[in-house]
Amino acid sequence: MRKIFIFVSLLTILLAGCVVYLPPPERGPSLAGEVYPEYDLDYIYDYLSDYGFWVYQPPYGYVWVPEVRLYRWRPYSYGYWVWTDFGWTWISRFNWGWIPFHYGRWGWSRDLGWFWVPGDIWAPAWVVWRYSRYYVGWAPLPPSIRFDVRVGLISHSLVIPSEYWVFVEVDYFLHSRLYRYLLPVERSLTLVRKTSLRARLEVHNRLVYNRGLEKQLIEQATRRTIRKYELAPQSTPGATRVRLNRVEMFRPKIKSSPSARPKKIVDKTKIKKQLREKEIISSGEQKAVKSSLELRRVHEKELKLLEKSHQREVEIL
């Protein structure tokens, strides 16, 4: 009996030496919209009516044209990027930015300019990326490119016009005043050719992750350690708040409704006239461009950015 006891004791010690520690699973990101009730699409129509115009645009149906026009404004240009569990997340400086930069898609037409097509799926940013050692670019995913929340992108090719792209030198990508360093759209055609496409929108548990631009690429290029922000719920609609290592964003679950429609619909022929009556704002200076002198200063600023970009390419060669 004594031999059996000694054998069992030795066996217990040996097994204890073979135990492998398994760390607890990493806590995943909070579910988008889990603390919010469902919001009907009618709510979105009403909310955005205060900031723009609703028009009927085939084949998308009712689309929204923002009333606030920054000088040479493009989607995903007035704000900045932070890294979260969902990938690069856009922090808009507009009070209404929690909707059209995280749900739905942006398109462009000659008669409307930039317009937003409503959607009911939240994402950190509906963009695809381009990258080189010296430049980072992003473009809104056009509404014509298909996406299924069950599988992700299902389009066979990503053909995105050059004017959709927003480029910045990689050194300024993490700047909180990013709009000051965006390269003029005239550079986009050249930079599209000098950068590689990175499109990786993934879906896990019906949550969308934008993994197209790896964090390590930016860390290596900028020689900076990128902070990861926790995405936290915000109880009321409005501007997204960034506090310490938290991003507080209103991101409810939106319920689509075929019968929903805006209460006020504007005729497309009147859109241009109404937009021209608004002051043009310089996104670099954030003030009204009311005179030819001020406009010339804005153009000089763009010219300096162009010259600096060209000089960098000469140095690379």
Per-residue pLDDT of the chain (317 residues; tens, 9 = 90+): 444 444 334 333 333 333 332 333 334 454 444 556 689 999 999 999 999 999 999 999 999 999 877 778 999 999 999 999 999 999 999 999 999 999 999 999 988 999 999 999 999 999 999 999 999 999 999 999 988 888 788 776 788 999 999 999 999 999 999 999 999 999 999 999 999 999 999 998 888 999 999 999 999 999 999 999 999 999 899 999 999 899 999 999 999 888 899 999 999 888 777 666 554 554 444 444 455 555 555 555 555 555 555 555 545 54
pLDDT at 4: 42
* Phi, psi angles (nearest 5°) of residue 307: -65, -40
* Residue 19 domain-assigned (yes or no): no
Give a yes or no: residue 111 inside a domain: yes
User: pTM for this one?
Assistant: 0.80
In a domain, 8, yes or no: no
Q: Answer whether residue 72 is part of any domain.
A: yes
Q: Is there a domain that residue 123 lies in?
A: yes
Quote the strand ranges of the chain, DSSP E. 38-40, 52-57, 61-66, 79-84, 87-92, 105-109, 113-117, 127-131, 135-140, 147-148, 152-153, 166-169, 196-198, 201-204, 207-210, 230-233, 241-243, 246-249, 253-255
Number of domains observed in the structure of the chain: 1
State the residue range of the domain holding 242: 34-285+292-306
**pLDDT reported for residue 272:** 72
Residue 308 is predicted with a pLDDT of 57
pLDDT at 305: 57
The rounded distance, in Å, linking the Cα atoms of 26 and 228 is 14
The answer to the question of residue 218 being in a domain is yes
Domain assignment of residue 249, yes or no: yes
User: Does residue 25 belong to any structural domain of this protein?
Assistant: no
